[in-house]
Amino acid sequence: MSQALAQIQPAQRAVRVLPRALTKRQKAAVIVRLLLSEGSPIPITALPEDMQADLTEEMGQLRLVDRETLDAVVVEFVSELEGVGLAFPGGMEGALKAMDGHISSEAASRLRRAGAGPADPWERLNALPPDKLLPVLEEEAVEVAAVVISKLPIARAAELLGKLPGERARRVAYAVSQTGNVDPATVRRIGQTIAQQLDAEPPRAFDSKPGERVGAILNVARSHTREDVLAGLDAEDAVFSAEVRKAIFTFAHVPARVAPIDVPKVMRVVDQGLMVTAMAAMPEVGEFLLSHLSQRLAQTFRDEIADRGVPHEKDGEAAMAAVIDGIRRAEKAREIALIQSEEG
């Protein structure tokens, strides 16, 4: 709570009658103006657009508020805050976020399709994972994609733009320069249309694509099993095989997928003994990792690898799988960022 609100003395909180009658909207405008003057951050953009407009209109109509009236408004506001026992998320989208993991995806989709979605469709779209929005940028008109990019948080927009093919990314980026005269109603309609299209998609039993699921399984399979399966997929369905290969990430892929700056973090993701065994099982990858450590630490690992000797195939593969599992967990926790694979 801001310093100005806290300065109202407890004795003053007995005031109940305002010297000057104000409506609830005017009182809200007074509180917002006071908090803004104190430099307190207020998430006004989280309000529905009509409420934002009403609040701004009230602030434009008010002129001067005397000290006694201000104190009384603050006392009333603080008293209401102190009387709050439980706050619920605003709007249906806020409720759906709170219930995430506690209700089925089918139930959530049904609620959205029934028209109970948020007043601002962009709140819904901003909460979607990148893989749900990427097809919109790839398939919609560049003008629509430019509006989407402009409405997303900068970090999210940059991430999605980086996933687009070069030519498409350049066209979308240029189209952003043409959005200066787009009116809010059009932006809102675009958001509503995209949200409705996404909500109309039937729920999927699996979160990941088939190629990603097979790739994840082959990641931890024995090497000869992985090669046999891939050879069979090449013969049966070359397109699907390519998807699977792109999803596969094994210890052999570490030099191509792990940035040199992240190597010290990778060396800490699993037990040191397992890391030594993995590097002993595949020396070329081990050399890549050691080349991006300090000389002293690298020499320590080299001595341990020499003492370890060549591990049994089963032990080596288990250690390499443990390293990859640790890298995946570090990526999920956003401790490192893997280099995107262009092909398997």
In order, the DSSP letters of 211-232 are HHHHHHHHHSS-HHHHHHHHHH
Please report, in tens digits, the pLDDT of each residue of the chain (344 residues total).
Answer: 555 555 554 444 443 444 457 888 888 888 888 888 888 777 777 676 677 878 888 888 888 888 888 888 888 888 887 776 666 666 665 666 667 767 776 666 666 555 544 457 888 788 788 888 888 888 889 999 999 999 988 888 888 888 888 899 999 999 998 888 888 888 888 988 888 787 766 666 666 778 888 888 888 778 888 889 989 998 999 888 888 888 888 999 999 999 999 999 999 988 999 999 999 999 999 999 999 999 999 999 999 999 999 999 999 999 998 999 999 899 888 899 888 765 54
Q: Which domains does the chain have, with CATH numbers?
A: 3-82 (no CATH), 104-199 (1.10.220.30), 206-248 (1.20.5), 249-344 (1.10.220.30)
Q: What phi and psi, each to the nearest 5 degrees, are found at residue 200?
A: -75, -15
CA angle, residues 26, 32, 34, in degrees to nearest 5: 105
Contact between residue 70 and residue 30 where contact means Cβ atoms under 8 Å apart: yes
Model's pTM, two decimal places? 0.43
Q: For residue 327, give the 3-state DSSP assignment.
A: helix
Q: How many CA atoms lie within 13 A of 270 on its CB side?
A: 20
Are 133 and 148 in contact by the 8 Å Cβ rule? The answer is yes
What local confidence, expressed as pLDDT, does residue 16 receive?
42
Residue 89 DSSP code: P
Q: Report d(CA 338, CA 100) in Å as an integer.
A: 28
- Which residues make Cβ contacts (< 8 Å) with residue 15, sequence separation at least 6? 71, 72, 75
Contact indicator for 252, 222 with CB cutoff of 8 Å: no
Distance of CA 175 to the CA centre of its chain: 25
Instruction: Give the closest residue to 286 by CA, choosing from 321, 254, 322.
Output: 254
- Measure the CA–CA gap between 157 and 192, rounded to whole angstroms: 19
Euclidean distance between CA atoms 96 and 102, whole angstroms: 9
First to last CA, the chain: 54
Report the DSSP beta bridge partners of residue 100. 103
- Name the phi and psi angles at 100, rounded to 5: -55, 125
Whole-number Cα distances in Å, 180 to 125, 143, 150, 185: 21, 12, 10, 14
- CA 191 – CA 151 distance, rounded (Å): 9
Burial string for 288-304 (b: 16+ CB within 10 Å, else e) reads: bbbebeeeeebeebeeb
